[in-house]
Amino acid sequence: MTLDQDLVRHLSEVSVSVELQTPEMTLNIGPQHPSTHGVLRLVARVDGERAYDVRPVIGYMHRGYEKLAEVRNYPQITTIVNRIDWVAGYANEIPFITAAEKLMELEVPPRALWIRLILTEMARMASHLIFMASYPLELGAQTPLFFALRERERVLDLLEGVTGGRFHPNFNRIGGVKPAYGSGSKTRKLVQDLPKTFYEETRRAMDEVLHACDQLEDLVAGNEIILARTKGIGVLPPEVAVAYGVTGPNLRASGVPFDLRKVENYLPYDQFDFQVITTQNGDCWDRWWCRLQEIRESAKIVQQAIDSIPSGPIQAKVPKVIKVPKGETYVRAENPKGEMGYYLVSEGGQGPYRLKIRSASFSNISVLPWILEGVLVPDIIAIMGSLDFVLGDVDR
Amino acid sequence: MSTRTFPGLGLWKGMWVTLSTMFKTIFMPGKHLKTVMYPDVKETPVPRARGVIALDQEACTVCMLCARNCPDWCIYIEGHKVEVPPDKPGGRVKIRNTLDRFDIDYALCMYCGICVEVCPFDALFWSPEYEYSEYEMGKLMHDKERLSEWLATVPEQPEIAQ
């Protein structure tokens, strides 16, 4: 006996609408739900299996860094901005330091810029590898977590070997990178350049990371369950993404080739050959794919930078007490999550008068009410995870 | 972009990755096993790791630079002046600062390293030791004796690239 498919679907819909009258209810997800990457609370109006009017409630992790920055001097603020997006702490320092240097009109030595670039790309890899670990986990696949975190450990070991910190490197100083172990007579000689074994270890680690990207692709890309849960889910059209200020891989997955590494000149990215990865569909799967390709591009940039790193000083001549002249500037940079910018207003003192922080995740999750309108409840997690935000970056 | 090929092929590819990794870690653990059985086996941290701050009491001159530059003001220093008798008769009486109290509150410390960096007399060093967690928060306040004990664990710095 063959069943008429149209008839079966029709009957089931009738039975749902007649027998299971579902009242609307308000569903709170979070603020301490394991899949919300922190203390994000979502308030959704749920009608059966569909969610409407999803409203993200933020502010549970507000630490007031903009205010804290006003009562600290410039070297101290570097430690604070590390903690905004803790998954890629190093990438947060770059736009802030560049903003202060821009006001001081400092010329940074090329070797320092190269070191900054290498470590920023490593931070990008670390951040995207966390996404590679957590996103399949949110969809129910545990195995990719171990592969991704193993590679992340490799990258973080390199970062730690240079800066001394895994999450909060605090390595940039105004005018270059960390100049010395200490300023005393004995330790002044221990100028902290890259360790001697760094180049070789990095070359090896980048090969391993590229190999692991292939492994991750084999693990996830062919999996029918993950494909069914991500393809065509949470489609973000380019005009909506631009209207909400979505940046980073989320925007590029929607087909907009906007990458600040190509647009701005805060680091010498124009010396390197890399692609801006874009995909056309803008669904969850494309966002995953975009990030995987970006890890590969970052590894290629690091490989090129290791080969072409110039020698020379790593610190420009700066006065011991750093005072930034009066003025204001906005510097933006490509964080792993998107555009990160600092609007720095200086009155000529040792600390900023005002520091406005534009973080990527805040704008990226502001698209949640639009993108989660009318989706199935299980898809909330899939879509939210694919936007890859960090609550420290949202609330600051 | 991955294109759909033979149905189920992607699944087998994924299975093959896990299976080959499993055999690699079983038969070549030295090369492929990355996990460490922590309390029994320990990894050596890198020499630059910022684990704990060691204090050289003899070198400290109570200049308060570290306490003033600390971003969250977790260093507490007290000192007093001592008159040192002159080396030879008829010389001047020297006045030396001596350290009474040097406490670092590790419950507050952000491990930024600014204090080590600004110390002009080589009194503070980073040590990669990390096993000093406590059951009570108050015990994380390390006094100058405890900080001096870390001095023996300060490693040699690695050779640099240029």
User: What are the residue boundaries of the structural domains of chain B, listed by start?
Assistant: 1-34, 52-153
Q: Return the structure tokens found at A389.
A: 């935000």
Within 8 A of B14 by CB-CB distance, chain A residues are 143, 218-220, 222-223
B137 at interface of A, judged by CB pairs closer than 8 A: no
Domain range B52-153, CATH class: alpha beta
pLDDT score recorded for residue B48: 82
Nearest chain A residue (CA) to B34:
A150
Q: Return the structure tokens found at A218.
A: 């084999």
Provide the chain B residues 21-60 that lie in CB contact (below 8 A) with chain A: 21, 34, 45-46, 48-50, 59
| pTM (predicted TM-score) | 0.85
Residue type, B82: V
Is residue A10 one of the residues assigned to a domain? no
Q: Please report, in tens digits, the pLDDT of each residue of chain A (396 residues total).
A: 455 666 555 555 555 555 566 678 888 887 777 666 778 888 888 887 888 888 888 888 888 888 888 888 888 888 888 888 888 888 888 899 998 888 888 888 888 889 899 999 999 999 999 988 888 888 888 888 888 888 888 888 888 888 888 888 888 888 878 755 655 666 555 556 787 888 888 988 898 888 888 888 888 887 778 888 888 888 888 898 899 988 888 888 888 888 888 888 888 888 888 888 888 888 888 889 889 999 999 999 999 998 888 888 888 888 878 888 888 899 988 888 888 889 999 888 888 898 899 888 888 888 888 888 888 888 888 888 888 888 888 888
Residues 6+ apart with CB under 8 A from A93: A78, A81, A82, A169, A170, A171, A172
**Shortest CA gap B61–chain A (Å):** 12
Pick B117's closest partner by Cβ from A162, A180, A222: A180
Structure ipTM over 0.85, yes or no: no
Is residue A12 one of the residues assigned to a domain? no
CATH of the domain at A284: 1.10.645.10
Rounded distance between C-alpha atoms, residue A126 and residue A117, angstroms: 14
Between chains, do B1 and A75 touch, taking CB under 8 Å as contact?
Answer: no
What is the number of H-type helices and E-type strands within chain B? 5, 5
Question: Contact, A362 vs A114, CB < 8 A?
Answer: no
The CA-CA-CA angle for residues B66, A170, A87, to 5°, reads 140
Closest CA to A174 of A79, A108, A90, A264: A108
Cα separation values, A166 from A155, B12, B108, Å = 9, 36, 19
Give the range of the structural domain holding residue A328, as residue numbers without chain letter.
Answer: 25-395
Is residue A141 one of the residues assigned to a domain? yes
**Shortest CA gap B40–chain A (Å):** 20
Provide the chain A residues 222-261 that lie in CB contact (below 8 A) with chain B: 222-224, 227
Give alpha helix (H) positions in A245-283: 249-253, 260-263
pLDDT score recorded for residue A343: 92
The domain tally of chain A equals 1
Closest CA to A148 of A288, A250, A38, A274: A288
pLDDT score recorded for residue A309: 87
Is residue A314 one of the residues assigned to a domain? yes
Q: Please report, in tens digits, the pLDDT of each residue of chain B (162 residues total).
A: 455 566 677 788 888 888 888 888 888 887 777 788 888 888 888 888 888 888 888 888 888 888 888 888 888 888 888 887 777 777 777 787 788 888 888 888 888 888 888 888 888 888 888 888 889 888 888 888 888 888 888 877 777 777
Closest CA to B123 of B52, B50, B53: B53
Chain segment A162-192, per-residue pLDDT in tens? 888 888 888 888 887 875 565 566 655 555 6
Rounded distance between C-alpha atoms, residue A43 and residue A1, angstroms: 47
Is residue A11 one of the residues assigned to a domain? no
Is residue A1 one of the residues assigned to a domain? no
Q: Return the structure tokens found at B4.
A: 């759909």
Between chains, do B2 and A222 touch, taking CB under 8 Å as contact?
Answer: yes
Map residue A27 onto helix, strand or coil.
strand
Between chains, do A224 and B120 touch, taking CB under 8 Å as contact?
Answer: no
Is residue A5 one of the residues assigned to a domain? no
Is residue A29 one of the residues assigned to a domain? yes
Provide the chain B residues 106-135 that lie in CB contact (below 8 A) with chain A: 110-114, 116-126
